[in-house]
A = this chain, B = another copy of it.
Amino acid sequence: MQNASHVRSLIRQGRWSSHTSGLADEHVQGNVVILPESLAVDFLRFCQRNPKPCPLLAVSEPGDRRVPMLGSDIDICSDLPRYRVWRHGELIDEPTDITNLWREDLVSFVIGCSFSFEQALLAAGLPLRHVEQGRNVAMYQTNISTEAAGLFGGPLVVSMRPMKAADAIRAVQVTSRFPSVHGAPVHIGDPSQIGIHDLSRPDYGDAVDVMPDELPVFWACGVTPQAAIQQARPAFCITHAPGAMLITDLLNHQLASF
């Protein structure tokens, strides 16, 4: 088991600027969204209304670079390998440190990510095709609407993992224990029922093979809030770069509800 604080310190020193998959993998990793306080109440309400795609792990005090509930030494300005800076919905930079962009009105949101429930699935002996094939998970926009709040809304984005029926049933049980990292699936089987017409053409990530004896199993995905932000086009926003998560001191096991 790698030490989360040690890995964060390497990232903070600029010695790691790539994705965090597999790093300190017993620890919870989080999607990060940083918004001005004027938009924080709408974004909080959006997350409250859409807990499956947007399970909030922590919300910082305005202007405070720390997130003490997830790690006593966290500095949100330096502890992610790479950030994305957005102005009016346009991506303008991908820095490895945002200290020079920090403002007293910024609020940081940390949202649970599927790395935690994937670790639980693997620990339960359930094979994950995209891991076997060394690819990113396949993600799709659905025709399911999120519950909007203020500027924030748009479609639910899901990730898909193909499984045999018995494994799909076990996966429902295993992931139900982890509501703070997307929880149980939102759909199993026929993709067209949720507006997905070609599994071989994901909207994000990589396609994976689905065997004839397998069901596609769909989970709410942390790309949903990112898509909501891109649609909302806030004047200023910072997010993590894809796959470059915040590594927290929480252990995946600590998130289990049962």
Contacting pair A257 B40 (CB below 8 A): no
Prevailing SS type, chain A contact patch: mixed
Q: Which of A5-13, A42-50, A138-146, A245-253 contacts B (4 or more CB under 8 A)?
A: A42-50
Contacting pair B48 A37 (CB below 8 A): no
Number of copies: 2
Q: Which of A22-30, A94-102, A176-184, A231-239 contacts B (4 or more CB under 8 A)?
A: A176-184
A59 contact from B37, B48, B61, B183, Cβ within 8 A: B48
A179 to chain B, nearest CB (A): 6
A49 contact from B69, B176, B179, Cβ within 8 A: B69
Interface residues of A in 40-88 (CB under 8 A from B): 40-41, 44-45, 48-49, 56, 58-59, 61, 69
Given contacts A41-B37, A44-B41, A45-B44, contact A258 B59 (CB under 8 A): no
Query: Given A45-B59, A183-B257, 9 more contacts at CB 8 Å?
Result: A41-B41, A44-B44, A49-B59, A49-B69, A176-B257, A177-B258, A184-B257, A257-B258, A258-B258
Tell me the A residues contacting B by CB distance below 8 Å: 37, 40-41, 44-45, 48-49, 56, 58-59, 61, 69, 147, 149, 173, 176-177, 179, 183-184, 257-258
